[in-house]
Each structure stands twice: as structure tokens, then as C-alpha cells.
Chain A
């Protein structure tokens, strides 16, 4: 837990006066829910019945053998309902919101995974749902917009700024300022003003707790844990049982994008992050000299964000977590490697962790164990991986599909 909202020097609550009261209300409700066994039981039940917990911890025998290093294990978090870890937090906060008497949920989304998880959680729990999404992201991630709408959520395009995740956060904060009486802001990552970093970590800590039990059952002690880090919710949840210990090695994989340079990556820790206050919290951000947030790039939309959760920034600076920037091409290579050797298609975000896991497995060598969190599965990325890896035939498929769509439309007239 943070100390008054801070992890070392990072974190805090830098918000307009109007948001002070709703954040205090949320902090109290969260803290009382955590000590209420009926709330925790409800969370566990829905985790089992709806999310599909526990998710497996799988020994990756063929991948380990091909790598020739440490034994690689994969936490299959991507098997959670809706395809990624995001649902853990969405369900947790939606339950909390209901307990607080809120009837409406708002959320920001970048790639759309958190939006999909929130829309699903709201459908499951009978809450009204509005998801703010950058207009640029809507263009890039249309399939997720389709799913959110199918779950009954309203997807509201954000036309301001870079029209991506950070602008969606701003739009959600604005809506919440005006309507917090009946509305809960279901923030998707372990960042933003306190108490969100603590709350999101707690709801995601189920990943780490399960891994700990499953590793003990499989009779091994992990020597290294690897997770990808955008805002960092899967990483902090996965690492959480081990944060206060010296072992195992904790490794965070950031988006190295196309390489160094402004707008080419989203590596804050293993890169050019500056101490800054933005979006309600203090952490390391990619900013210019004036403090303006900079453009970022990653092949994975979920890692394409200029800030990092304050607890991760703190643990990075204290040396507890090591960060590695993994480039787009390395992530794509790891994606193919695990597909061929283990029958697993990692989400592009998680493929950054997979690449870092292969590095550390080689480094540690045989006899050691590495656990990588496959925080999401890659079905959602079919349009990106199709274009990147599918060659000409993928292009033909898309044009044929467009023609078929037009023909169907004509036929209906």
C-alpha cells in the first residue's frame, strides 16, 4: 500500500478541487470493501464463475528446450474471459461501484481492451456504461468498438489532442467532474490520482497470488518474473506478492517501438522518462523540456502511453524492478516463437514480455525458472499481425472481404 497515496516520491493526487471529494469517497469505500469478507467472497465467486479463475500456469517445455536456457513457464492470463487481465480490475471496481450505490460507469480505453472488459463487467452487473476512446484509436481498433457496443456500452469518440489514450483519460476525468454523484470512473491501469494505483494493484494481485500457489504446487521457485508494462496494471498485480522480497528478479518490458527518438517508442524507465506531474499523479513521463506530454509509438496499442504507474516508477528507481525496452520487431519475433513452439498467441503487449523472458532465460541458463505473464491473448491483434506477418495474401483477404461486404449491402437494398 502507498503511504498517503505516495510510493517513495511518486504518486499523489494532483487533481482539480472538484475531484477531491469523489476521490476521498472512493478511497474510503475501497478501504472498507477490502476488509469486508462478503465483498471479497463475491469478488472470488465472480472470478471463478465468470472470469474463469484460476488461469493456468503452464510449463513451456518446447520453448524452454529451443531456448536452451532456464525453464520457461507461462501464466495464461489471456485465458480470462474477454481475453486479458483487464477484466480482473473491471469486475473489482464495478462491484465496488455498485456497493457505493453508483449506477453509471465511465472508462477510458486505448486499444480497447480495458473498454471491452469494462463494458462486459457492466453488462454482467447491470450498470450503465460509457467508454471514452480517442477517435484515432477508434479507427485503429474498430473490432473492440464493435464488442463494446454489443455489450451495450456507449463508445464516445474523443476528438481532442492526439485522439488517443491520454486524451480519453482527460475526457473521462471531465465527465467524472460533472457527474460523480451517480458515476464511478473505472480507471484501467495502476496509475492516475490516489487511490487508483493501490486499488488497481489490489484487484490485479490475484494474478500474482495464483502464480505463487501454482508454482508451489508445481514444486519450483521462480528465479525471474517477467511482465509487460504500459501503465503497468498486469505487471504490478503479477509482481505484488514478491515486491517486498529480494528474490525473484522482477523484469518489466516496455515498448521500445522503432528505437530511440521522440515519438518512436514508449520507454519511460529504460529510456528518456522525466519526473513530471500529469493526469493526476507524479511519475516518470515522456515529456519535452516544458513538461508537455510527448507522442509515443508502439506496435501494441496497450503499451503506447507516455506515463507509467507510480509504484512501478518507484520500484524501478529503487532497483527492485529492472526494465527493458523491447522493440516492435523483437515482440513480433517472440509472438511467432511462442505460436510455433507452444501453440500460444500472445497479445502484442504481452509479446514484449515474452521477448524479455527469452532474453533472461538464456542469461540465467538451465536449472533456473522464469515465469512470464501472458497478460492477454492475441486474437484482438489479427489486423496488425495480419498486416505485419501475413504478406500479400492478407491484403487480398481484406480487399475480398470489403467486396463481399459491399455486395451484401447491395443485396439488401
Chain B
């Protein structure tokens, strides 16, 4: 555990900058204090990601990365560390493999939960039910201006974790929290704290942002800032990932 009462879900792209290096990145993130990992399986059209992550995904795919390798990598990571691993990808890949098979492969690799932003409750092709049945529940994404009715629909799905997107749009840009968002997170924790854990992300780069979220969520998600750091240090990915994670946790 980190010295904070708030966890860090550290994102990385499978196969970036190479299959082996992405394993090193995962280990570096853990060494830097990550309390959970979020491994993105690269997709050709990642429409909820910003340019940094999209570029990393494209590079991974250009290197010939396959979905089978992602599950093998997940297994290797979950065997190497006790830090829980989430897998993030897009409907295109989940649907192509078969919803059931995808969730079962993830569960067998020791994955704790699945984040698929374009399979939302009500239009999920049975994803949330299949994922829960496989023992690897889906993690629904919430926006902070969600209506009460929609929130009820989302909370109706079997899930352990909720992912709150702290800004509209895509990953990458710096987010400043406003009062309405803080209020939403506080209320969500009060009503759901018993049943769900909450991770919040989109635009987390600095320890100051983490501090604001302390007490409001169980963990922050950082992605773009970490991927940028890995990209900037070719050949030293493990150390770069470790330093970047520690930086966000205010330990460096």
C-alpha cells in the first residue's frame, strides 16, 4: 500500500513499446506504488482515448500485437504480483472474440475486472452478466452529470468497482475538479460505499489532484501521464514507469 489512503490504478498499454517492455512497465508501476494496474488491450480505433494512448496502441499493433498475447501477458503479471489487474479494451475486440470467451479468458488470467467503455449498461450485448458469471466483473463508467434514473440502471449491473470519468471527452487533458464533481463523488461514496469501490480518472497528472480526491474515492486512475513517461524513456521503461507512478503519488 502507498502512504496515502487513496489507491493508484496505473494504466499501461499491452505490447507497448514491446511485449516484453510492457511487462517491465507493469512491474515498474507496482514498484512505484500502484495499488492496481489497468492494462489496455490495443484496438485499432480507440475513440475514448487521447492522442498519447492512441499512438501507443497503434505502435503496439504495428508491432503485430495480438489479443491472445494480451491474456498471456495478463497471466504473467498476475502471477508476478499480488496487485490486482484490470483489463481495459473496446467493444470491437470483446465482441469479435465472443463476449463469454473474452470474459472467461480474462478470469482465467487472474484479471480482477473489465473496463469496456463502449459497452454500457442497457447496450452491453450481455457483457456485464457474462463478466460477473466468469468471476471478472465489468466496471461501469459513470459521468458526473449522470441522471438519477440512469445511475439506477447502471448500479443495477453486477459490479464491484465503478469508474467515474471526471471530465467530458477523452483521456489525456488536465482536469481540475469543480465543486459539482466533488459533491457527486461524495454523495456516490455515501450511498454506494458499502457495495462498490470507486476509481476516478481522466486527466490525473499531479499529486495535487490526487490529494483533492482523497476521501472521495478509493483510487485514482492515471494513464496518459504514465504512458507519456514510458514513451520518453526508451530502454528504461521500468524505471520511467516507477518514477512516474511515484510522482503522481507524491512520493518523488
Contact = CB atoms under 8 A, between A and B. Distances in A.
Interface of A: 12-18, 20-21, 159-161, 166-167, 169-170, 173-175, 177-180, 274, 276-280, 282, 287, 289-293
Contact of B165 (A18, A160, A277, A280): A18
B44 A161 contact: yes
A291 B101 CA distance: 14
Contact of A160 (B55, B66, B154): B55
Contacts of A16: 47-48, 117-118, 120, 141
Nearest to B169: A178
Interface stretch (B89-97, B225-233, B242-250): B89-97
Interface residues of B, number: 40
Contacts of A13: 123
B142 interface: yes
A167 B67 CA distance: 21
| Highest count of chain A CB atoms <10 Å: which of B95, B145, B154 | B95
B44 A160 contact: no
A161 B58 contact: yes
Given A16-B117, A291-B97, A170 B169 contact: no
B169 A274 contact: no
A12 B48 CA distance: 18
B188 interface: no
Interface of B: 43-48, 50-51, 54-55, 58, 61, 66-67, 91-97, 117-120, 123, 125, 140-143, 145-146, 150, 154, 165, 167-170
A18 B168 contact: yes
Given A160-B58, A280-B118, A17 B141 contact: yes
Contact of B123 (A14, A159, A160, A287): A14
B169 A18 contact: yes
Given A20-B120, A178-B168, A292-B61, A170 B46 contact: yes
Contacts of A177: 48, 168-170
B91 A277 contact: yes
A280 B54 CA distance: 17
A293 B92 contact: yes
A205 B196 CA distance: 48
Given A12-B123, A175-B169, A287-B96, 14 more contacts: A18-B169, A160-B54, A161-B44, A170-B45, A177-B168, A180-B168, A277-B125, A278-B92, A287-B92, A289-B96, A290-B96, A291-B93, A291-B97, A293-B45
